[in-house]
A = this chain, B = another copy of it.
């Protein structure tokens, strides 16, 4: 069995020793270990073991007042993908999941349009259409929650509808979004149009966890690409699509590998 342990607590001497001793005592072999000491102490360990590695760890956790999470590394997370009309991120995630690059069980593609149905089905992933929009938000979100029951993570692969705070709370699992700008620049609508008007020489994309406040959630990953004066808005969008799908794929992979710990408005990415 391969598992991961994610720990967060106030920093003080003895934490690593206590954790390593516990794992050694449980017969585990540590495969990789990373830690970060900022205002708090963060640690991620991956290890191989038999039986239940968490057994008895509550005593260590209590001693150091830890937030603790054990996760199985050999069980794929159940993932749902939401998409509107732009399919580049969706197609990329489906392809990476098929090759095994993303260790996930993609069980649903949900869209407020019909465009993505064919691609989803070509990859043997169930597709459902749920209309959404300002005037039918409540109804749409109720229906979506039905479909999203039982998933471990939801990915917004260019899903262009707002998700309310109530929806996020009832959903209860992490939601990862790809925003098509280099946040905090050009938050909100029309980032490529605004980037063109400002005359920037580099555009970007940002993957972040979704919170109630639009485009303000903790950033997981960003990347950029170079543009020139000769690039009209359409060229920015074309360059941007490649950045978006690469950034989202990395963010999703790191999430699936339990590499991300949210630290207020920031993330620790091991």
Contacts and interface: CB of A to CB of B under 8 A. Distances in A.
A267 interface: yes
A266 interface: yes
Interface residues of A, number: 63
Contact of A13 (B28, B122, B184, B186): B28
A238 B101 contact: yes
Contacts of A228: 269
Interface in A199-233: 199-202, 204, 218-224, 228-230, 232
Contact of A218 (B28, B32, B199): B199
B35 A24 contact: no
A76 to B, nearest CB: 17
Contact of A229 (B91, B185, B267): B267
Given A91-B95, A199-B266, A265-B198, A13 B24 contact: yes
B29 A13 contact: yes
Contacts of A182: 182, 185, 202
A74 to B, nearest CB: 17
A33 interface: yes
Nearest to A203: B222
Given A12-B29, A229-B269, 6 more contacts: A32-B230, A183-B185, A198-B219, A200-B219, A202-B204, A229-B268
